[in-house]
Structure 1
């Protein structure tokens, strides 16, 4: 696919995410919209996957460590064909629904890791990548984490382990949008110098515009060409990207649009398709 086609898919996924939060009357739209472009490039351009064989042993793996952003994840899986026809109503967070408020690997087709408690994705991704090395597989493990999430100590245990084992089949994206649920990241922990911290742990590190499709594609290729070290792609993102009243507005970390707000979002994103 070309860049323009991927941009169209990203906005379509954003609209699907907003729609499922609106219909389900619960969810985290802001964190979902910020990573839409990353998820789009992975699922529709870079990842080696087969929706008809979600457990294919040689597939690339994906972990959404910031699991509360799952509406965009579910939207991508649906668009890619993991559930047959595109899902019209996800019943997000509904009792008995397979689309819970955080991804559940034994409940939702195509989900490689259950996530909810923050901080675990990099460590588990390191384990998956290490298993791939032992089995002499050529798959990649992709992880999306948040800048606020990196305050969890287990992240850095995983980061250290990945470097020690030279896991060049592990590629981590950091959604650096500057916010966490309680406020700004810098206001909580201080300097948000993510790239430098990963470099101190001997990772190959890049920092890019997380909404530039071509930059994301190129960064992935650079990461794949780097041998002997895991890679991190720090993505400068805007929380709530694509919906004007949500952009950089932490009130939309979790929230449900009103009918009028839903219409504004639909106009901005091109409506449900």
Structure 2
């Protein structure tokens, strides 16, 4: 699959709108894991708009690829992508996190079209992905499983049990995506339990491995294309180093913790800076 500059520009626009959707949802509740959402938007843009096979009008279509959000607190990021993909109606942004909303603040499969699993108990997503990928294999399905997990989840033994199982069963239809932003609830991920060398560990567990700048669209496209098009019988992992708050300069520079605080008067500033970074005018937003 060749990479044209027009492809990159289209992905850049998807990433912009994913970021904007996430900020708009954060503004509704005055909170949310927007730092992670901004950081992982480029990854979601490449996954959803270059590789995932899905039907917006039929989120449960049997032939779809499955995108599993292991890190349930990243739900605001996935919702933003699902809105951009046309799976969730844009009007639902205004209902984010409210009673009876289909967009609860932590991702739950029973509520949201396109949300394949209920995440949040960290370390479970890859194991579920292994089971799904094995099931698809036995059904002789051409569909793939994509599983987004975090560097903090590499603390969990269950993640590595799943990694070993995936290699054992030769699950070449499974693509893990690791978001490395070096933050988790108690401290920096590398301080709580050093995860390096990540790539060597995945390779030792029998996975084809790529490590890239997760905010560089060209690098992401190259890695995802290689992972999806590989003829190896191994599972694949794309390790993405991301910057929390990416796309909003004052949030990029803010001291990083697991939860980036955005004050009430800062939401409009965040949206304004995002538009400026992408060179988007008010008229273009409405278009």
* Range class of TM-score, shorter chain: over 0.9
Alignment of 1:122 onto 2:110: no
- Structure 1: distance between partners of 2:103 and 2:182: 27
After superposition, the Cα gap between the structure-2 partners of 1:106 and 1:95, relative to the gap in structure 1 and judged at 3 Å, is same
Cα offsets for 1:166-213 (capped at 9, x unmatched): 100000111111111222111111243211110110111111111111
| Structure 2 unaligned residues grouped into runs of 5+ | 1-5, 276-281
Alpha-carbon contact 2:123-2:154 (below 8 Å) kept: yes
2:234 aligned residue: 229
Q: TM-score, normalised by structure 2?
A: 0.89
Alpha-carbon contact 1:30-1:250 (below 8 Å) kept: no
After superposition, the Cα gap between the structure-2 partners of 1:107 and 1:250, relative to the gap in structure 1 and judged at 3 Å, is farther
- Structure 2: distance between partners of 1:59 and 1:99: 21
Q: Pick one of 34, 47, 72 that aligns with 1:29.
A: 34
Alignment of 1:3 onto 2:12: no
2:63 aligned residue: 58
1:160 aligned residue: 164
- Structure 1: distance between partners of 2:106 and 2:249: 25
Superposed, 1:255-270 pairs within 5 Å as: 255=260, 257-270=262-275
Alpha-carbon contact 1:90-1:99 (below 8 Å) kept: no
Alpha-carbon contact 2:187-2:257 (below 8 Å) kept: no
Across the two proteins, how many residue pairs are aligned to each other? 272
What is the deviation of 1:249?
4.2
Alignment of 1:215 onto 2:215: no
SS of residue matched to 2:38 = helix
User: Which structure's residues are more often helix, by fraction?
Assistant: 2
1:103 aligned residue: 107
Q: TM-score, normalised by structure 1?
A: 0.93
1:206 aligned residue: 210
What is the deviation of 1:123?
0.7
- The root-mean-square deviation of aligned C-alpha atoms, in Å, is 1.8
Runs of 4+ in 1 over 6 A off after TM superposition: none
Higher relative contact order (CA 8 A, sep 6+): 1
**Larger displacement relative to structure 2 (244-253 or 179-188):** 244-253
SS of residue matched to 2:149 = strand
| Structure 1 unaligned residues grouped into runs of 5+ | none
Superposed, 1:141-156 pairs within 5 Å as: 141-156=145-160
- Structure 2: distance between partners of 1:65 and 1:189: 19
- Structure 1: distance between partners of 2:148 and 2:162: 14
